[in-house]
Amino acid sequence: MNKENRQKRVLITGGAGFLGSHLCDRYIKEGYEVICMDNLSTGNADNIAHLFGNENFEFINHDVTNFIHVGGELDLILHFASPASPIDYLEMPIQTLKVGSLGTHKALGLAKEKNARFLLASTSEVYGDPLTHPQSEDYWGNVNPIGDRGVYDEAKRFAEAMAMAYHRYHGVETRIVRIFNTYGSRMRIHDGRALPTFMRQALNGNPLTVYGDGSQTRSFMYVDDLVEGVWRLSQSNFIEPVNIGNPDEITILDFAKEIIELTGSESEITFEELPKDDPQVRQPDINRAKEELDWEPRYDRKEGIKKTLEYFEEKVNKMNINKPI
Quick check: is 27 catalytic?
Answer: no
Contact criterion met (CB below 8 Å) for 282 and 320? no
Collapsing DSSP to helix, strand or coil, 286 comes out as: coil
Q: Is residue 114 within 8 Å of 170, Cβ to Cβ?
A: no
Q: Which of 261, 264, 162, 274 is nearest to 215 (CA)?
A: 274
Residue type at 148 in one-letter notation: D
Beta strands in the chain (DSSP E): 9-13, 33-38, 57-61, 76-79, 117-123, 174-179, 182-183, 208-211, 217-219, 221-222, 242-244, 249-251, 269-272
Single out the residue of 239, 245, 227 nearest to residue 290, CA to CA: 245
Q: Catalytic pick from 89, 152, 166, 222?
A: 152
Which has the closest alpha carbon to 303: 232, 223, 192, 249?
223
Neighbours of 318 (CB within 10 A): 11
Give the active site residues: 152
